[in-house]
Every structure is written in C-alpha cells, then in structure tokens.
Structure 1
Amino acid sequence: MIGILVAIAISWLLLYFFEKQHILALGLLPVTKRIRQFLTGFLITGLLCIMAQYLEAFLRSGIWVLNENISGATIARSFWWDVRSVLTEELIFRGALLYILIRRIGTAKSILISAIAFGIYHWFSFGILGNIVAMILIFIGTGLMGYAWAWAFAKTRSIMLPFGFHLGWNFFYNTVFSKGPLGELLLVLQRAEELTDTTSLLNFLTGMILVPILVLLYVKYFVKAEAQAVPVGEDG
C-alpha cells in the first residue's frame, strides 16, 4: 500500500511540475464512464486469458480443477496483491510519465517509448536477464501488450481502460489459473503432459502474440478517441 501511495504522490508531483496538472489529469472522471471502461478492459483480457489457459490445457491433455484447499480469504488476498502490483505498474508506465510524454513529443513516439520500457522491465520482473532467447520472446510479448495499453491510454485520455486490461489479465492468470508467484490458488492444472517444441510454440504464440494483437485490434477499432486525444502517427 505504501508503494502505491508513493507512486501516486510522485505522479502528482510530476504532473504539477511539468504540466501544472493534478492527479485527475490521468482521467479518473467522470466516475461512471471510467468504471465502465475499466470493467470493459477487465472482461476482455479476462476472457482472453481463459481462452489461452484452456488452449494450454488442451495442448497438454490436462484439465483445470478447483483447488479444494482454497478459501475466500486467500482469493481476496491474492486479488489485492494483483491490484497493488498492477496499479503500481500502470502509474509508472501508463500514468504521469506517459501523459507528459504525449504532451511534449506526441502520441506515436510516446506509446512506443512506453511499450519498449514495459518490455525491458519484464526482463527484470521475470528474472530472465542474460537468457537471450527468453529476453527476446518476453520483450515481444510484453512490449506488444504494453503498446496496446499505452494506446488505450492515449485514445481515452484515461488510465482506467489500460488498468482494466492489465488487472483482467493478471487476476485471471495469477489468481484464477495459479500461474503467478503466489502458488496454487483457484484452479489447478492436473494430468498435464509436458509441452513439446511445437505445442510450446503454439502456446507462446497464443498467449504472448495473439492476445496482444486482439487487444490492439479492439483499441484500434472499438475504442473511441476522446477530445484532445491524438491519433497514432501524428504529433500533438
């Protein structure tokens, strides 16, 4: 919680120092509209995560089963952990810095910088620094997703849609499908075979390439650019 408060305070200071704005510049109002954007993003990536995880289960001839030892309190704690980690990352990569960059150097360059930074950040958060193949693959996958989420910020002029996208994926990935650092949670994959080179490639292409591309297509064709938003490819 302290980390989030620090990130909010730094964001506020940056916005005031560079743009004479406060934290509401990150698009927190109107509340009803922003909640709707958040929920839309959450549901989209949540459904995409379900698709990706059931494809993996199919490729590995496994089944997802309910963890009999799970409790509501454990799910709540895990969800809160997801919220804290996601909000912190959003404030860093799709918050004040992206807002300032868009105002100073234009939308297209700012989105690209945000995506590159997000991809590089995951080298460290995933602990793969030095593993060249893994670094390339993770950079492509997380960079594409970071690009989609930064574009969502630019079009809506709000952090709420990318926050929803990010939390939807992380909550289902970490808490529902037990793929995160917190261990076995709601669902557990059982009787699963090891992935072969071919099935591993298909699994990667689905989760790290197809999913970000689908989010990008949604942002491109279904997210309306709000007033003062600058189209990708133009400066503003």
Structure 2
Amino acid sequence: MVGIIVQLVLSWLILGILQKQSLSALGFYPPKKRILQLFLGLLFASMSCILVEILNSELTHLSWKLNDNLNYMDIPNYLWWNLKSVLFEEFIFRGALLYIAIQRLGAKKGIVLSAICFGIYHWFSYGLFGNIASMVIVFLITGFMGLIWALGFLKSKSMALPIGLHLGWNFTTNAIFSKGPMGDQILIPVKGLYYTQLTGVPSLVNFLTQNIGVTMLTYLFIKFYAQKECDNY
C-alpha cells in the first residue's frame, strides 16, 4: 500500500512539473463514470479468461474442482493482492508517464512506447533472461496486451478501464484458476484419465491463438466502447 501512495505522489509531482497538470489528468473524474469503466473492464477480462480456460480444458480434457482447503474469508485477500500488483504496474505503464508520452510524442508513439516497456518489464518479473524463445513469446504477448490496455487509456481518457481489464484478467487467472505465484486458491485442476498434455508445436499454436484471440477481442471491446462514448456526445 505504501508503494501505491508513493506512486501517486510521484505521479502528482511529474504531472505538475512536466505538464502543469494534476492527478485529474489520469481520469479519476467523474467518479461514477470511472467506476462503471472499471467494472466493465473487469467483467470483460474475467469472462475472456474464463472462455480461454474452458477452451483449453476442452482441448486437454482437464477439469476443475473447488479447492477443499479454500477459506472463503481469504478471497478478499486474493483480490487485494491482485489489485495491489495491478495498480503498481498500471501507475508505471498506463499512468502519468503514458499521459506525458502521448502529449509529447503523439498518441501512436506514446502507446507503442508504453507497450514496449511493458513487454520488456515482464522479462524481469518472469525471470526469463537467457531463454530467448520465452523472452520473444512473453514480449509479444504482454507487449500486445499492454498496447491494447494503453489504447484503453487513450480512448477512455482514464486509468479506470485498463485497471479493470488488467485486474479482471489477473484475478481470474491467479485466484480463480490458481495459476499465479500464490499457489492453489479457488479452483484447482484435475487431470483425469483422458487428460492430454499439449506439447511442442500444438501447445505453442494453442497458446498463441488463445492470447492473440483475447487481445483482438479486447481491442474490439475498447473500439466498441469508444464508439458508444462518441455516440453519447
């Protein structure tokens, strides 16, 4: 929490010094509209992640069950952990620095720069140095998603939408499907008699197809949302 407060203060200073703007430049107002954007982004990303897991389960014959050791009182803690990690990344990559980049470099260059930095950042967070193939794949996947989330900031003029998209994806992946660094949480996988582990090229194609598909769906969602916003004015 202290880290988030520090990021807010730094964002306020950077915006004030370089752009003569306050934190309102990051789109915190009007609050009702931003809460709606946050919720819609969270819901869309969560449903997209669930769809990906359903498709993957169908291909591999993987099933899921509720964690027998789940303490329902821990679910808010799972949400809080994901929210903190999302806010940390969003304030770096879709906050004041992105706003300044857009203002000074233009929209296209600004969001591309943000996406490149986001992709490179995941080399460090995932500890991938030395594994060239993994570095390329992770850079492309996270970079393109970072590009779409930055586009969400540009089109909505707020951090709320990309935060919602990011949180929806991370919480569903990490907490609901227990694929994060915290281990088993809400659902745990069950590899039954007919479970098939995808390997080699089929595994790579499946991974890329699902991630590219989610990225394109998110792009269409943002484009549709932006068009609806324009129609309302």
**How far has the Cα of 1:198 moved from its partner?**
4.4
Kindly state the Cα deviation for residue 32 of structure 1 after the two structures are TM-superposed. Answer: 0.7
Q: CA deviation at 1:222?
A: 3.0
**Alignment correspondent of 1:230:** none
Aligned position for 1:211: 214
Are the structure 2 counterparts of residues 199 and 73 from structure 1 closer, same or farther at C-alpha, using a change threshold of 3 Å?
Answer: farther
SS at match of 2:150: helix
8 Å contact from structure 1 (residues 48, 211) kept in 2: yes
Shift of 1:68: 1.4
CA–CA separation in structure 1 for the residues paired with 2:91 and 2:72:
28
- Alignment length, in residue pairs? 227
1:52-102, Cα deviation, whole Å (9 max, x unpaired): 111222222110111111112222111100000001100000000001111
Give the alignment's Cα RMSD to 1 decimal. 1.5
Name the CA distance, whole Å, in 1 between partners of 2:101 and 2:173.
30
Distance 1:75 1:135 in 2: 32
Runs (4 or more) in structure 1 with deviation over 6 Å come to none
Partner of 2:126 in structure 1? 126
Which residues of 2 match residues 1-236 of structure 1 at below 5 A?
1-191=1-191, 192-224=195-227
Unaligned 5+ segments in structure 1 are 228-236
Separation (CA, whole Å) in 2 of partners of 1:7 and 1:190 = 40
Tell me the TM-score normalised to structure 2 length.
Answer: 0.93
Q: CA deviation at 1:206?
A: 3.7
Amino acid at match of 2:105: I
Letter in 2 for 1:163: I
Unaligned runs of 5+ in 2: none
More helix by share: 2
Report the Cα offset of residue 10 of structure 1.
0.8
TM-score scaled by structure 1? 0.92
SS in 1 for 2:116: helix
Distance 1:196 1:215, change over 3 A: same
- Measured after TM superposition, the shift of residue 226 of structure 1 is 6.7
Q: Answer with 80-89 or 191-200: which moved more.
A: 191-200
State the percentage of identical aligned residues: 47
